Amino acid sequence: MLSAREKAHMIKAEAKRLGFLACGIAQATFLEEEAPRLEQWLKQGKHGEMGYMANHFDLRLDPRKLVPDAKSVISLAYNYHAHPQQEDAAAPKLSTYAYGRDYHKVLRKRLKPLRAFITEQFGSVEMRAFVDSGPVMEKSWAQRSGIGWVGKHTNIIRQGTGSFFFLCEVILDLELEPDAPVDDHCGTCRRCIDACPTEAITPYGVDGSRCISYLTIELKDSIPQEFAGKMQGWAFGCDICQQVCPWNRFSTPHNEPQFDPKPELKALTADEWHGMTEVVFDRIFEGSAVKRTKYEGLRRNMRFLINNGTN
């Protein structure tokens, strides 16, 4: 009979074969340390209009409420790093992850063979997979499973890799040997804090209601004027805190063809961006995460940039 260590080793080997950057395991238990921090963050309104963050509070903190009798949480990282994508330097900026196919779709497809492998090897296993969706505190599980540490910008950083990777989880009722968390290696560095133009970052905390990613994606109302001149050309998402992080000098380009941008997207000039019709938007961003903000949302963001002289 296979031990919990042997099962964990087999799953990690298969995850690596399937192209995941890293795979770590944590014991499925109540997130005792995270509970008061999450409650305080919500009470302070730092989730802005992201009302869903306040939903299912108990489910977010205990994976056993998502998968009855869950024993383990498998955390996986998937690289999406790429060099600057657009040919016109004056074009509005998109977060690196948004240039290719929506990562939710890509990672769900990548997780299917891993789940099938677990079933084939270990028999009937109750499990659920999550890709930045559902009431799962993915960064907490990634930290607990040794994928990396929570940086001062609250993204997970992996030594020798950086932070340009997606996280996903498999919660299952299979006993697996857990990994140990890794140490924090941010030290005295505060580049992400100092570089954030909207002052959204405090050490190990982010005011989501001030984050450029929130303002350009999650916020449905008009972007507040207090952020005029501070958007630095970002029309969808923002990578500033990752771009300035010294650990990302170790980032390497991804090997996922579905994350490659369409040539038409790369070639768009600034004028073409600002004159984009809804028909062109639908064609260029078909299957893309940019569809989340919808055409009118992207137009709102670009109008804000033009009216405030930042693009």
User: Which residues participate in catalysis according to the annotation?
Assistant: 132
Give dist(CA 158, CA 185) in Å, integer.
9
Q: Mind spelling out the 3-state secondary structure of the chain?
A: CCCHHHHHHHHHHHHHHCCCCEEEEEECCCCCCHHHHHHHHHHCCCCCCCHHHHCCHHHHHCHHHCCCCCCEEEEEEEECCCCCCCCCCCCCEECHHHCCCCHHHHHHHHHHHHHHHHHHHHCCCCEEEECCCCCCCHHHHHHHCCCCEECCCCCEEECCCECCEEEEEEEECCCCCCCCCCCCCCCCCCHHHHHCCCCCEECCEECHHHCHHHHHHHCCCCCCHHHCCCCCCEEECCCHHHHCCHHHHHCCCCCCHHHCCCHHHHCCCHHHHHCCCHHHHHHHCCCCHHHHHHHHHHHHHHHHHHHCCCC
